[in-house]
Structure 1
Amino acid sequence: MKFLLVYRSGSVPDEQINKNISELWRWLDNLKENGHEKVRFAGSGCKIISQQSIDDYSGDVFGVSIIEADSLEKAISLTTDWPELQYGGRIEILEALGD
């Protein structure tokens, strides 16, 4: 089954930012190395498109992943050690339709 993980940032203390970024990349790389993550979108360059304008995105989503897992419960279990959780971050999980 395929799932979309939407990563929303928390409030990381300034003195923890570099450590948190390192832990986030390690967590993502582990997800990929274990065969779960198939596609990753992260970083800058996000845009908001409307009929009136094209603007830079400034919200709290800082990335998404497409993963494969046997069930929703398994997908949830893969997120329990996500480093951003300790700072109030959130992951939203959406199951692919017709998968």
Structure 2
Amino acid sequence: MKFLFVYRGGEVPDNRLDRNVDELWRWLDNLKEDGYEKVRFAGSGRKFISQDSIDDYSGDIFGVSIIEADSLEKAMSLTQNWPELQYGGMIEILEAIGD
């Protein structure tokens, strides 16, 4: 089964930013090494497109991953040690339709 993880940032204290970024990349790299993460989108070039305009995105989503797991429960269990949780970050999980 395939799932989309949508990563929403929390409020990371300034003195923890560098460490948090390192921990986030390590967490993502572990998902990939363990065979769960298939595709990752993160970083720059984010745009918000509407009928009337194209603007730079300024919301709290900072990335998404396509995850492959045996069940929703397994996908949810992969998020338990996501470093951003301690700062109020959230992960939305959407299941692929017709997968």
Q: Fold match, TM over 0.5?
A: yes
Give the C-alpha shift of residue 60 in structure 1.
0.1
* Counterpart for residue 38 of structure 1: 38
TM-score by length of 2: 0.99
- Work out the percentage of aligned pairs sharing the same amino acid: 79
Quick one: which amino acid aligns to residue 20 of structure 1? N
TM-score by length of 1: 0.99
Answer yes or no: is 1:97 the counterpart of 2:97. Answer: yes
* Counterpart for residue 55 of structure 2: 55
d(CA) in 2 for partners of 1:34 and 1:45?
A: 28
For residues 35-89 of structure 1, the C-alpha deviation after alignment (integer angstroms, 9 at most, x for no partner) is 0000000011110111111000000000000010000000000000000000000
Deviating above 4 A after TM superposition, structure 1's stretches of 4 or more consecutive aligned residues are none
* Counterpart for residue 2 of structure 2: 2
What are the ranges of 5 or more consecutive residues in structure 2 without an aligned counterpart? none
Aligned CA RMSD, in angstroms, stands at 0.4
What are the ranges of 5 or more consecutive residues in structure 1 without an aligned counterpart? none
Quick one: which amino acid aligns to residue 11 of structure 2? S
Give the C-alpha shift of residue 5 in structure 1.
0.0
Quick one: which amino acid aligns to residue 34 of structure 1? D
d(CA) in 1 for partners of 2:22 and 2:46?
A: 22
For residues 1-38 of structure 1, the C-alpha deviation after alignment (integer angstroms, 9 at most, x for no partner) is 00000000000000000000000000000000000000
* Counterpart for residue 69 of structure 1: 69
**Aligned residues between the structures:** 99
